[in-house]
Structure 1
Amino acid sequence: MRTIFPALLVAALLLCACSPGLGFDNLQGSTSYSALSDSLSITVNPLNLRTASGAQARPCTGSFAEHELPHVTGTAFERVTYFTSNGAGLAVGDLDNDGDEDFVLANLLGPNQIFWNEGNWNFRPQLLLEGSLRGLALVDVDGDGWLDITATSRTGNLLYWRNLGSDPGPTTFASEQEPARLLGVSGFAYSLQWGDLDRDGDLDLVTASYDASLEKQIGRRALDATDQNGVFIYEHANGRFLPTRLASRAQGLALQLQDLNGDRRLDILVGNDFDVHDAVFLGQRDGSWPAADPFATTTFSTMSFDSGDIDNDGRLELFAADMHPYSKEPEIMRQWLPVMETMPPPSPEDAPQVMANVLQQRQGDAWSDQAETWQIPFSGWSWSAQFGDIDQDGLLDLYVVNGMTAMEIFRHLPGDELVEENQAYRNDGGNRFTPAPEWKLNSTAGGRSMSMADFDGDGDLDVLINNLRSPSQLFENQLCSGRSLLVDLRHPGSGNTRALGAELLLHTSTGIYRRSVHAAAGYLSGRSARQHFGLPPESRIIALEVRWPDRVLSLIDGRSIQPTSLLTITRRAAHKD
């Protein structure tokens, strides 16, 4: 480990500021940036690289190796019904601040568990609470530097476990068996996202309900009488959360925070199941959230959202997953046939909703669906789908988990289950994704939530999946291809210590790679704030740009950055006399 002191960074910042081609000029819109008056420190930790020999050596098989976890998301009855079939979530983050990625697995019936990363693929489970959770996100709600656990429940309530830290002793949480409520948060919640929506320096909350499930539990009339369903934002102010209802109805399986119109403000995307159209709310300077309709085409049943710069042009694409057979093989079509017969007829090409995946790509001032062009229109009965540079060649790949169990629609199949392979797609650099079965990520265990992170400290992305009624899985990346850079952002003393909403651009000799810091992605899946950049072997780092959520810009000279390392960038307020 080595630390680059702030005095050195001043020189690096001046050097980068004078270099041509740097900055966010290639992104949409315009804005002004504050000069960097705070001090930065950078800690560099080398990664635990695979070697050809030695005690730490692990095999380079060219594929992924499965590790089965002692966690099964259970159901109350042997035959699974709608909504129970939706499964439960997961979240990834460093809960004990020891540098390793820990994770939490939710459950519908059975223990929700924290898995503490003790190194060398050893994960110690700890009971958090017995059932019945849905979505998860690990965020520092109170700004004390420790990640807290936030979760939505099957009854629609949002739960909160405050991390008390580990100074001294093991990390503990307040009221582990009786989670607290966030003051002011009372609406029904199925999916959740966190970000600094009002730019006041702390974290605000966005939630969406899943009304179809709630109607089954309490009835439509009772649900309407509560005025607690739909889409809510909760602005964090003086220790409590102030609610604003943006929509009175939602089938919200997915939420995304992303700047859609280039004004440098976070906008809200709500991915709705069934025939409820996806919703978009644009963040305004005056604090209002008008509805908008920026997309000509959206998915009919939106299961998952994720964004990423898949062509390295500096602009983010948005992927929405739907459900449709991934193959026309007779046996697969036979399994799907009863479901397909109950679905509405195919939509015309100009229809606003399609029963297929949608890849929104910015072309000029408009968005257009390019899923067919990129050859990812159909991926199965898809749940969590996320981008990540799996093979570390500088291009974001795509991974989708699949499967469905429901007696109402699959009683013609053994166990009422549609058994499907998860789909891994390699970005080939020619505006196309190609299937990558050689990676051996084609599990048929019934995945629901999924996230990627580096769990063994070797720099590449591993994959965590919470299945329904099958053991959860960790897939160890043994491709041993390319190199990487991992980046942690820290802003202690602020209300957003993990810099949620920040944008990073890594300038290299082989291209410019963009990443965004989010609390969650995909379906019911909390994402690590640690950013992963895959690098081809010949790539040389020129500079790293960080645009913090408050629009302060940091520029760091590439000579201060070594590949195959974890870079922790800590921003502290400048001392004032």
Structure 2
Amino acid sequence: MLRILTIHTASLKKYLFHFKVFLGFTIVIFSPSCGQSEPAPDLFSLPTVYKVGKKPDEIKARDMNMDGFPDILVSNAGSDTLSYFEAIGDGTFKTAFTMNTGREPLAFEVGDFNGDKILDIAVSNYGDGNISIILGQKDGVFKQKANIKVGRLPIAISVGDFNNDEKLDLAITLRFDKLVIFLGMGDGSFKMGEVYKASGTPAHMTVGDFDNDKNLDIAVAFNAVQVNFLRVFYGNGDGTFKNPIKILGGKQSSFITQHDINNDGKNDLLTSSSMHDVIKIFLNNGKSGFTPTEDTAAEKGPEYIVPGDFNGDNIPDLAVANRRDASISILQGRGDGTFIFPHFNYPVGANARAMIGEDFNDDGLTDLALLIYDRQMMEVILRKNSSPN
């Protein structure tokens, strides 16, 4: 049976569309299945769809206006803009406010860069080779402070206090095998720090204290052809990093994140390979590094991974956005770094890529928001407050 989908437009009115099977039309259905005769549990409500810019690439949830509800930011690489969706608090959002960026904003980060306790934005502009610093104001307006030249083709960006001076710094990966550090001055400006070689086409990174020495480290995924490793740059605590440790495992990884997937108190690394249809878990051994597990089979084109307890058993699961088969997969965790098969699959819009998890309606459950890359759409999918069984 064909479902009805609610679409939000710029006027905030809701229009109902029946999507028909016809050449040239997109079918957006949300009827769960797991590829078996038994249907997947009815965990999610129908998605609400919001308009974004062209080629949306990155999505994050932060309470930008400090009202207690997570807002959503989206970078649109094809429109050279940033979309800001202000949360209403019930799982819905106001029509996006649009900010101009540099050319091809592939990624961005959020933090208080000038010490005024208001969140700011750092945007990585792939086409310009720079970072735009956009400062938040008390009246809810954003003001662009400066563009920082970082080098050719910046891809990913992360924030953290790498030199322990209580000011946020930036880490940027460049397409041509570099990791660049910029140290924050605390007033919204940055000075260039060290540049590190990162051969293998760095794609994505995650920041955390992986060896429990109170200094932030950086784990980088690489997506060059034939690459089957990660690199972890362990921090010295002064804004510099040791020579990276190569961790074998993971094929042409397009995404990396972290979570304590085996409940041992240490954050593990999780990667996806959209080219090889696998998820890879690297268990954190503390000071001795990471141990790769066996490949976890995924659906077609896994991209972003959102860890969370989606079946209510207090064991970490994974939600995975699958680009090539237009679905979200829920991988139920066993608590040891492995997952139950088959996975539960929930159809979404075609070419799903970036995805985040957050409690958007304040019910204590993790909801999802994801970007449909070639449809200029964002889907917000709320968890149902019911037993998965």
Cα contact 1:304–1:321 (8 A) shared by 2? yes
The equivalences for 1:209-228 within 5 A come to 209-211=125-127
| Letter of the structure 2 residue corresponding to residue 125 of structure 1 | P
CA displacement 1:18-67 (0-9 Å, x = unmatched): xxxxxxxxxxxxxxxxxxxxxxxxxxxxxxxxxxxxxxxxxxxxxxxxxx
The equivalences for 1:448-459 within 5 A come to 448-459=303-314
Secondary structure of 1:312's match? Answer: coil
Take 2:287 and 2:174, find their aligned partners in 1: how far apart are those partners? 31
**Cross-structure match for 2:98:** 181
**Cross-structure match for 1:393:** 264
Q: Check 1:145–1:432 CA distance in 2 against 1; reply closer, same or farther (3 A cut).
A: closer
Cα contact 1:321–1:356 (8 A) shared by 2? yes
| 1:123, distance to aligned residue in structure 2 (A) | 3.8
Cα contact 2:85–2:93 (8 A) shared by 1? yes
Cα contact 1:253–1:273 (8 A) shared by 2? yes
The equivalences for 1:59-458 within 5 A come to 121-129=43-51, 132-155=55-78, 156-166=80-90, 171-175=91-95, 179-182=96-99, 185-188=100-103, 189-211=105-127, 230-237=130-137, 238-243=139-144, 244-247=146-149, 250-274=152-176, 277-293=178-194, 296-323=196-223, 336=226, 357-363=230-236, 366-372=240-246, 376-404=247-275, 419-429=276-286, 431-437=288-294, 441-443=296-298, 445-458=300-313
Take 2:261 and 2:88, find their aligned partners in 1: how far apart are those partners? 34
The equivalences for 1:6-17 within 5 A come to none
| 1:203, distance to aligned residue in structure 2 (A) | 0.8
| 1:111, distance to aligned residue in structure 2 (A) | 9.0
Cα contact 1:386–1:400 (8 A) shared by 2? yes
Gaps of 5+ in 1: 1-69, 71-108, 212-227, 326-335, 341-354, 405-418, 483-522, 531-577
| 1:253, distance to aligned residue in structure 2 (A) | 2.5
| 1:527, distance to aligned residue in structure 2 (A) | 6.0
CA displacement 1:362-398 (0-9 Å, x = unmatched): 35865223423xxx14522111111211010122221
| Letter of the structure 1 residue corresponding to residue 233 of structure 2 | Q
Count the aligned residue pairs: 307
| Letter of the structure 1 residue corresponding to residue 109 of structure 2 | Q
Take 1:126 and 1:379, find their aligned partners in 2: how far apart are those partners? 34
Take 2:130 and 2:26, find their aligned partners in 1: how far apart are those partners? 28
CA displacement 1:375-424 (0-9 Å, x = unmatched): x14522111111211010122221110133xxxxxxxxxxxxxx353222
Take 2:288 and 2:150, find their aligned partners in 1: how far apart are those partners? 39
Secondary structure of 2:242's match? Answer: strand
| 1:259, distance to aligned residue in structure 2 (A) | 1.0
| 1:443, distance to aligned residue in structure 2 (A) | 1.7
| Letter of the structure 1 residue corresponding to residue 235 of structure 2 | R
Secondary structure of 2:117's match? Answer: coil
Cα contact 2:222–2:229 (8 A) shared by 1? yes
| 1:112, distance to aligned residue in structure 2 (A) | 9.8
Structure with greater helix percent? 1
Structure with greater strand percent? 2
| 1:250, distance to aligned residue in structure 2 (A) | 4.8
Take 2:162 and 2:237, find their aligned partners in 1: how far apart are those partners? 13
**Cross-structure match for 1:102:** none
CA displacement 1:309-358 (0-9 Å, x = unmatched): 22333333210111356xxxxxxxxxx5xxx9xxxxxxxxxxxxxx9632
Take 2:196 and 2:184, find their aligned partners in 1: how far apart are those partners? 20
Take 2:119 and 2:318, find their aligned partners in 1: how far apart are those partners? 27
Q: Check 1:420–1:239 CA distance in 2 against 1; reply closer, same or farther (3 A cut).
A: closer
Root-mean-square deviation (CA), in Å?
A: 3.5
